[in-house]
């Protein structure tokens, strides 16, 4: 049997267990144990596809987001989270990712529930210093998002914002940004982008 602590690419998809509560619970417990056993061992790619069930939203949502904290400890380089939320959710636990030095690619898709991504103004300048690719879907952002991208994401090359709820004004300044795609941003009235090498 392969030593799971040595795996560097991990993909989780709950699709075949969505109608079986006991198997879903076993899968969640397995993932908890898997991440504990890694003890900080590096993860190259971590991809989670999860459909939060309405009857256990709070507990299950917390468990899924806690895996992101564990992934950050394991110096994940590529993280993709596709989670179907039943309601708006405060993504406080995602703050751990904002301090992940090794993360190069981050995809957050919360489908119709909308995750509220809060970025503190006091975040360290080294947070996500290696990030090159960022894609957000069904996420709420405010003006601090633009400040964070401008100040912290020094190597960001590709930024995708799809189905976003935003503040009235968003300003992004980047010397590294090459690709920018924005589609259906609700509430945004003023957008200012300064990027010298934007393609």
**Which of 170, 137, 167, 173 lies closest to 154 in space, CA to CA?**
173
pLDDT computed for residue 198 by the predictor: 93
E strand intervals along 54-178: 78-84, 89-90, 105-109, 115-116, 133-137, 139-140, 158-165, 169-174
pLDDT computed for residue 135 by the predictor: 94
Question: Is the pLDDT higher at 144 or at 30?
Answer: 30
pLDDT computed for residue 2 by the predictor: 47
Q: What is the pLDDT of residues 119-150, one digit of tens each?
A: 665 555 556 778 999 999 888 888 888 888 89
- Rounded to whole angstroms, the Cα distance separating 117 from 139 reads 7
Secondary structure class of 159 (helix, strand, coil): strand
DSSP-assigned letters across all residues of 35-74: HHHHTT---SEEEEEEE--GGGHHHHHHHHHHHHHHHHHT
- Rounded to whole angstroms, the Cα distance separating 23 from 20 reads 6
Cβ contact 133:158 at 8 Å = yes
Average pLDDT over residues 6-35: 85
Cβ contact 49:84 at 8 Å = no
Task: Count structural domains, the chain.
Answer: 1
Cβ contact 5:39 at 8 Å = yes
- Rounded to whole angstroms, the Cα distance separating 163 from 177 reads 20
Confidence of residue 25 (pLDDT cuts 50, 70, 90): confident
Range of the domain at 63: 4-195
pLDDT above 90: residue 174: yes
Mean pLDDT of the chain: 81
Q: Give residue 110's Cα distance to chain centre.
A: 9
Model confidence, pTM: 0.84
**Which of 68, 60, 186, 79 lies closest to 133 in space, CA to CA?**
79
Measured in degrees and rounded to the nearest 5, phi and psi for residue 198 equal -65, 130
């Amino acid at each position: 049997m392969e030593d799971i602590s040595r795996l560097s690419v991990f993909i989780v998809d709950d699709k075949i267990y969505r109608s079986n509560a006991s198997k879903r619970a076993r899968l969640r417990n397995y993932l908890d144990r898997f991440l504990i056993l890694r003890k900080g061992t590096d993860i190259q790619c971590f991809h989670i596809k999860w459909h939060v069930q309405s009857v256990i939203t709070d507990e299950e949502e917390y468990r899924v987001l806690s895996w992101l904290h564990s992934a950050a400890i394991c110096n994940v380089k590529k993280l993709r989270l596709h989670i179907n939320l039943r309601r708006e959710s405060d993504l406080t636990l995602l703050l751990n990712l904002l301090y992940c030095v090794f993360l190069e690619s981050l995809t957050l898709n919360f489908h119709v529930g909308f995750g509220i991504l809060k970025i503190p103004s006091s975040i360290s300048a080294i947070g996500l210093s290696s990030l090159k690719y960022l894609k957000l879907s069904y996420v709420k952002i405010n003006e601090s998002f633009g400040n964070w991208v401008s100040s912290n994401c020094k190597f960001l090359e590709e930024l995708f914002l799809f189905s976003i709820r935003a503040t009235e004004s968003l300003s992004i300044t980047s010397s590294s940004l090459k690709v920018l795609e924005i589609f259906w941003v609700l509430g945004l009235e003023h957008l200012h982008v300064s990027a010298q090498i934007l393609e």
